[in-house]
Amino acid sequence: MSDVPILKETTRSSGREALRNNITAAMALAGAVRSTLGPRGMDKLLIDDEGRTMVTNDGVTVLESAKVEHPVAKMLINASTTQDQIARDGTTSAVLFSAELLQNAWELVLQGVHPSAIGRGYRIAEGMSREHLSSLTVEATASMQQQATQTSLSGKIHTAMQLHLAQLAHQAARAIQEDREGRVVADPTRVKILSQIGGQMTDSALITGLVLLKKRVRSTMPKRLKAGKIALIDGGLERKGLMSSVKLKVTNHGVLETFRQEERTMLLKQISHLEELGVTLLACKEGIDDDVHGALADAGIQSFRRVARADLDLLARGCGARLNMNVDALSDDDIGVFIESRSERINGQDRWTVDTEEGGATFIAKGSTNDTVGEVERCFGDALGVACQLLEEPVLLPGGGATQVALARHLRRQAESIPGREQLAVEAYADALEVIPRTLAENAGLDPLDTLLQVVAQQAKGGDGSHTVGVDVLAKQPANMMEQGIVEPLRITRQVLAGATEAALSVLRIDDVLWAKQDPTVPDMSPEND
């Protein structure tokens, strides 16, 4: 048999060595965001290749900004990104929980438990946890929804701003909610966010309607329009340019003037078409020819040009209009309606505000620096996502690690009835859940083990309703989270359980890692490439 290795250009690790290396990478990634969890979490200073800086407490922002090479670390980052997309919060918790599951699994592997048995036990534990969650929930009132939104901002920004942003996010979610087939739907993408440097963070405000930093093309056009019809053009109202391959040979000045006049006549016909459709508001993605500004003003059509495609899409959704490539192709079915359109100049900025029938809102983020404004935008985006999902699913769980401790206690009781080595995995899953209250206590300067034991003891002796006892990091002692207003949406915890468990199981199934060797590349300096 030949001694020549088949994978001679590949570095290979397998068995326990591969699992240990993968778990080490996961723990290193979790360590990078561990200190950001909770109201007492610390900030991270991020510096990119060009020297630009960002200070943030948002776990998913830290992870997505980092340059990570290890594939297992990338898997956990993907789980965190999915958590952010679905629940808008709990990204740090997902990474910590997943890494703790892997660490506990490693301890079982060292005791002789096969990864497959651990995976089966983790699946059993996840199912038990999801089933038990329903017994821990409460229906959310309007005030509780706002409290949950504020809880999602804990540690990301100062307390006064947390309350302010939570209120604005709650108002914005209410403004965009709609009923579809008997259920409430609130799409956060219908809220536009504008940045404005200057002033304090508490000057950030919410404006009902869609606000664009645009000025009408002519000052003689109406500043304010009441209810009317709107046309959206995914193009412009301009003279059509000639194709690059076409050449015109002009021998008479009058011919050129006639050609230009005919072009203007075609534009005026398009304006007449808008009048016939009853359009009083026009928005174009591209330009509007200067020669027809006056004609649009005479027709009473308030017009705006160079409107971004994303803003046109928002207008289309709010007004019930459809985008068209040119004015000539517009029909009655393409025309939308609006409640009011205002063109104003506020604080040195030209603003165009449109109130639509389908609702909509615009958040104006303010701050003294670019970094401050950026953090306000990120925090409001997270708060808005939480507020929207609470309108769709108004169900809450106690925060402060209370839910995780309650689930862990439940799993330990249920593990006694599970035969085989899966019982050890269920207990390991319960231990991993407690990483959340331990980390909250640690970041608040408390002893994590003593604090966890105090919470467990109070839940155990409290009887019914004791599952609401968690870590009050401000008072530095266990407390009733529901009474303190520290609550979080059910969707966040449910997604953390699903995402973190799946990520951990994906790593546990890996028993072989093959790294292809790459030789250093040399630029091709051949003459034909010069």
Return the pLDDT at 55.
84
User: Of 56, 58, 355, 472, which is the active-site residue?
Assistant: 58
Return the pLDDT at 349.
84
Return the pLDDT at 484.
93
Return the pLDDT at 212.
94
How many CA atoms, within 13 angstroms, populate the side-chain half-sphere of residue 152? 39
- Give CB contacts under 8 A, 24+ apart, made by 71-78: 72/22, 72/25, 72/26, 72/507, 72/510, 73/25, 73/26, 73/28, 73/29, 75/503, 75/506, 75/507, 76/26, 76/29, 76/30, 76/503, 77/29, 78/503
Return the pLDDT at 474.
87
User: Of 36, 61, 82, 92, which is the active-site residue?
Assistant: 92
Residue whose tokens read 């008997």? 182
Return the pLDDT at 411.
97
Number of H helices, E strands in the chain: 17, 22
Distance CA(191)–CA(176), nearest Å, equals: 8
Query: Among this protein's residues, is 369 annotated catalytic?
Result: no
Six token digits for residue 349: 């900025």
Amino acid (one-letter) located at 81:
T
Six token digits for residue 216: 């009408």
Q: For residues 104 and 431, is the Cβ–Cβ distance under 8 A?
A: yes
pTM of the predicted structure, to 2 decimals = 0.84
Return the pLDDT at 253.
67
How many CA atoms, within 13 angstroms, populate the side-chain half-sphere of residue 321? 29
User: Of 36, 56, 82, 91, which is the active-site residue?
Assistant: 91
Return the pLDDT at 525.
47
The answer to whether the Cα torsion of 309, 310, 313, 314 is positive or negative is negative
User: Of 382, 403, 472, 493, which is the active-site residue?
Assistant: 382
Query: Among this protein's residues, is 382 annotated catalytic?
Result: yes
Six token digits for residue 173: 């979610």
Query: Among this protein's residues, is 58 annotated catalytic?
Result: yes
| Per-residue model confidence as pLDDT tens for the chain (530 residues) | 444 455 566 777 888 999 999 999 999 999 999 999 999 999 999 888 888 888 888 888 899 888 888 889 999 999 999 998 898 899 999 999 999 999 999 999 999 999 999 999 999 999 999 999 999 999 999 999 999 999 999 888 888 899 999 999 999 999 888 888 888 989 898 899 999 888 889 999 998 889 999 999 999 999 999 999 999 999 999 887 655 566 666 666 666 677 678 888 899 999 999 999 999 999 999 999 998 999 999 999 999 999 999 999 999 988 999 999 989 999 999 999 999 999 998 878 899 999 988 878 999 999 988 888 988 999 999 999 999 999 999 999 999 999 999 999 999 999 999 999 999 999 999 999 999 999 999 999 999 999 999 999 999 987 777 899 999 998 999 999 999 999 999 999 999 999 999 999 999 999 888 777 655 544 454 444 44
Return the pLDDT at 241.
60
Domains in the chain, ordered, with CATH?
10-138+397-516 (1.10.560.10), 141-209+362-393 (3.30.260.10), 211-358 (3.50.7.10)
433 closest CA partner among 455, 464, 407: 407
Q: For residues 430 and 415, is the Cβ–Cβ distance under 8 A?
A: yes
- List residues bridging with 211 in a β-sheet: 353
Distance CA(284)–CA(261), nearest Å, equals: 23
For every residue of 200-224, which 3-state class applies, written as one string?
A: CHHHCEEEECEEECCCCCCCCCCCE
